[in-house]
Structure formats: structure tokens, C-alpha cells
Amino acid sequence: MRFLCLHGKGTSASIFKSQTATFRPRLPSTYTFDFVDAPFTSAPAAGIDVFYSPPYYAFWHGTSVSAIRASHAWFAEILERQGPYDGVMGFSQGTGLIGSFLLYHQLERPGEPLPFKCAVFFCGGVSLNVVADLGVRVGAAARELDERTKEALQEKAASVKDAKVGDDYWARGLVFDPGEEVDRSDVYGLDFTRVSAGLVVNIPTVHVWGHKDPRYPASVQLAQFCEPSLRKTMDHGGGHDIPRTREVSEGIAELVEWVGMMAEG
């Protein structure tokens, strides 16, 4: 089971490899992971330079649909040149790239097979500009919350520079209720009862998020685009990160092994 792994904006392949270091060894030896750097250099993600040295990269800059779609061409080239891959795994912007690639494939090439069979998503979702471009109504409430969560993420992540050992800086400010029931007619401003069945992602997916992550709504929205019978979700209890506790690592490993088994049929 071979995975292509895409990091978050302002980080790198080596950083994502480090972020996933505690759960990958818990998987069977047949599960392998290729980490690649994004094509553009970038400033560091907020707070990341406290823990990791440069260089840092991004899959795109800005918020335009054209920039995101250009990243899809890069992604497809990597899949063809370095593949085949059984699955893909992304964090933050890497998740957004994979998720948007899947949704455009569903809309524009529904009869063509995907170049991978499963996906694992960490702490991220699809740009609302992409969602709107796909024909889904994106209202003012969804836009306002999206902007507020982006700003809150920058503030929380940057606060690590002033945090003391043991501080749970992710618990400050904007935190979501993990026990809140999802109403498909209003998933943080998006009405999934009106989303075309043609946009539903029909491969096995795993969605790992933390309810202290300001971008939690985007993660939940992405999960709603995926077939319920083929998806599993996990709240790791933290923020915009991958906690390395034994409990979290074991839980993630179980889900990644599950998605691989589902992909193999």
C-alpha cells in the first residue's frame, strides 16, 4: 500500500514526515509513504519556524481557482511520473489540493478511473472559491466564518512563540464542540442537501481533525463531500496539528490501515 503525501503550506516534505513519525511505524511494513515538496517556495506557516528550519514550500499562493487548478496539473504529473500510488495523504493545504482534485474529477471526468484508490485527510478542507466554482451555493455566512477561522488559525499558531512548556495554546480563543450533531442542511454555512450526487467522492477516505483547530469547519465540510459508507473520521482532540500521543498515534494507524484494506477490496 503506497501513499503519496502532500504537506501543508509553509512547511515541507521533511516536516510532514516528522509530523507523521509516530503513527507510520505502527502500520504493516507493506504501507509505504513518499513525501514530496510543493513546487513553490513559501514563508513559514505561523509558528512552524519555532520547531523546524527552512526551506518551506507551498502548492499555490493566493486564493484563486486558477492557482489551485494549476496545482492539480502538477499533482497529476507527480502521480504519473512517480506512481502508481494506492493512496494519497495530505495535511492542510495538501488536503485542500487532494480534495479539490477529487471534486473536479467527479464533476468533469466521472467515467475515468482515479489515479489512486483512497485518501487520508488531516486538518483541512476545500477552498470555498472552489466549492462555488463547482456549482455549490456559498453564502455570506459561510464566507464570513471561513475568513474568521483563517484569521484565528494564524493567531493561535503564532502564539506558540510565547507559550510556556505545557501550555495548550490551541485551547485559547475559537474552539468547536466535537459533540455537535452535523445538520447536512447547514454544515457551517453550506447546504449539503442541495449538493449534486455527482460531486460525492466514492473512494474510501479518512478525515482526522482537532476540534481546537480554527479550521475545523473546513475539515467537517470536506467529509460531507465524501460517501458516508466509505469514510471514517477522528477528532484527535488538538488543534491544527497531529498530536503524537500513543492514543492518537494508535487511532490514526488503525484508520490508515482500514482505508488501505478498503482500497484493496
Cβ atoms within 10 Å, residue 261: 13
Q: How far is CA 54 from the centre of its chain?
A: 22
Q: Of the candidates 87, 94, 93, which has an alpha carbon nearest to the alpha carbon of residue 114?
A: 87
Q: What does the pLDDT read at residue 103? A: 98
Q: Which parts of the chain sit beneath pLDDT 70?
A: none
> Which region, left, alpha or beta, applies to residue 118 given φ > 0 means left and ψ of -120 to 50 means alpha?
beta
CA distance 199 to 102: 9
Q: What does the pLDDT read at residue 256? A: 98
Q: What is the DSSP letter of 241?
A: S
| H or E element, residue 186 | none
Q: What does the pLDDT read at residue 88? A: 98
**Per-residue CA distances from 250 to 24, 183, 236 (Å):** 9, 30, 11
Whole-structure pTM value = 0.97
Q: What does the pLDDT read at residue 72? A: 98
Q: What does the pLDDT read at residue 165? A: 75
φ and ψ at 129, to 5 degrees? -65, -40
Q: What does the pLDDT read at residue 33? A: 98
Q: What is the mean pLDDT of the chain?
A: 96
Q: Of the candidates 4, 11, 21, which has an alpha carbon nearest to the alpha carbon of residue 74?
A: 4
CA distance 98 to 90: 7
